[in-house]
Amino acid sequence: MAFAAILTVGRLKHSEEHPASREFFEAGNEVMREAAKTGHLIKEFSPNRAKFPEETIKGEGTPILTLTVWKNLQSLYQFTYSGLHRQALQDRNKWFGPLPERQPNYVVWWTDMLSDVSWKEAFKRYDFYIQHGPDSFAFDFRHAFDQFGDPILLK
């Protein structure tokens, strides 16, 4: 059985002490609690001690990165566009500034083994997406692939 992994990337508009940033962290904690309750979130990776590539962290604003693994792509997609996460997406412009051109806010990929998911692997997939666009190796929801590498439409 394959799992869906997702790396999200953002850069705070304000300092971590700013009221808008504090609101983001509070909302983010609630979103992760809701994700855990779905029963579809397999693992959340801590960014503590992760070695971020220089190109990912340079620029203004604190980088905010998440790395999670889900039971399947459909449950990840449904969670992304419902509940508290949907509200957070609607509010994201209060918290986050734009990323450089061609840098996506997230990248998704399939993995057969949870042990294959790491920050290093996530950045490799992210860089691939930036260099080559969506592919079965690294994709987004608009250009999704099933676990066999075939394009699919998510609903």
- What's the confidence (pLDDT) of residue 99? 87
Report the share of the chain in percent with pLDDT over 90. 83
Residue 14, pLDDT above cutoff 70: yes
- What's the confidence (pLDDT) of residue 82? 97
- What's the confidence (pLDDT) of residue 52? 76
Residue 65 covered by a domain: yes
Residue 19 covered by a domain: yes
Residue 29 covered by a domain: yes
Residue 14 covered by a domain: yes
Per-residue model confidence as pLDDT tens digits over 36-64: 999 999 999 998 888 777 766 566 788 89
Average pLDDT, the chain: 94
Residue 27 covered by a domain: yes
> What is the extent of the structural domain holding 68?
3-132
- What's the confidence (pLDDT) of residue 15? 93
Look at the chain and report how many structural domains it folds into. 1
Residue 151 covered by a domain: no
> Could you please report the per-residue DSSP string of 9-66?
EEEBSS-TTSHHHHHHHHHHHHHHHHHHHHS-EEEEE--TT----HHHH-SSS-EEEE
Residue 143 covered by a domain: no
**Whose CA is closest to 4, among 125, 128, 87, 155?**
125
Residue 83, pLDDT above cutoff 90: yes
Residue 143, pLDDT above cutoff 70: yes
Residue 56 covered by a domain: yes
Of 19-33, 48-62, 77-91, give the lowest mean pLDDT range: 48-62
For residue 117, what is the domain's CATH number? Answer: 3.30.70.100
